[in-house]
Amino acid sequence: QDPKYKLQFHELQDPYSPDPDTEMVRMTDRDGRKFECFLPKKPEASPLDGANETEATLAEISRRTPEELLDVLKDRCFHRHEGWWTYELCYHGKFRQVHFETSKKDKKSQEFVLGVYDAEATARLHSSTPVLIQKDPRSQTAALKYFAHMYVNGTKCDLTGAPRETEVRFVCADSGMLLISSIKESPTCKYTVIFQAPMLCKHPLFQEERQPWLVVNCNSVSNDEYEINREQQRPAASEEVSSGNIEMLPPSTTSSMDES
């Protein structure tokens, strides 16, 4: 798949130092600020990719199910803090929404169980396929593969009269971190959790969804410096671009964009 790009902006006093053969593109935002952006090289596919893993190891990974790869999470709980609430997800256990009193350490003042892991409900969810696909509403083509667990029979919902329940979606993530990346409630008292699980990236069903991320480093330049550099490098293959539709972020921050 084509790579995605992150834009990294650098201040005048702390510019990015590119490699000599790095392609440079000049950009101007809608406010007239000048930038020189250095394009990374796309990684080339190599027939030796994955050569560090033996064929036996690859075969073993292929035989293991996503559930088996997730076994390392057993007896572990993960937390996410969102304002007033703390969410606690215990693998094969409970998913809770808790508020702790700040004046008394570990003193719970409110608690809702958003579901308890149910193996049968999970099996029904995967009756037709081991890996499900979450469509991206912002794109007609983009999708995210996930392996889900069902957490049911939570605290009764006052609005619907039914027990709360949650679908936990485990996704491949290149970050290398185990974490709850998002929690959404829709419809009322029914929740969807996205959990980043790097171990799933080892499974063939998830590998095809992985996309490389490349960083485009952009240096802020003064108008005088910009004009001097433009004259000095005019014979080069660099291209001057007016990027009026690019969202400019503060220095030392990143944004991301898909390659069109």
Element (H, E) at 122: helix 119-125
Confidence (pLDDT) at 30: 83
Using DSSP's 3-state secondary structure scheme, residue 8 falls into strand
In terms of Cα–Cα distance, which of 253, 251, 255 is closest to 15?
Answer: 251
Q: What angle do CA 215, 44, 259 make, to 5 degrees?
A: 45
Using DSSP's 3-state secondary structure scheme, residue 144 falls into strand
Q: Is the pLDDT of residue 105 over 90?
A: no
Domain boundaries, the chain: 4-42+220-258
In terms of Cα–Cα distance, which of 209, 204, 173, 200 is closest to 62?
Answer: 204
Span 126-164, pLDDT tens digits:
887 777 876 655 545 456 789 999 999 999 999 999 999
Span 155-213, pLDDT tens digits:
999 999 999 999 999 998 877 889 999 999 989 999 999 999 999 888 888 875 555 66
Mean pLDDT over 107-112 rounds to 80
Q: Is the pLDDT of residue 12 over 90?
A: no
- Higher-pLDDT residue of 59, 108: 108
Confidence of residue 15 (pLDDT cuts 50, 70, 90): confident
Rounded to two decimals, what is the model's pTM?
0.57
| Beta-bridge mates of residue 196 | 171, 179
Span 31-86, pLDDT tens digits:
888 899 998 876 665 444 444 444 545 455 556 889 999 999 999 999 999 888 99
Distance, CA of 37 to CA of 52 (rounded, Å)? 34
Q: What angle do CA 214, 147, 188 make, to 5 degrees?
A: 100
Pairing status of strand 213-221 against strand 179-185: unpaired
Which residues lie below 8 Å from residue 15, measured CB to CB, with a gap of 6+?
219, 220
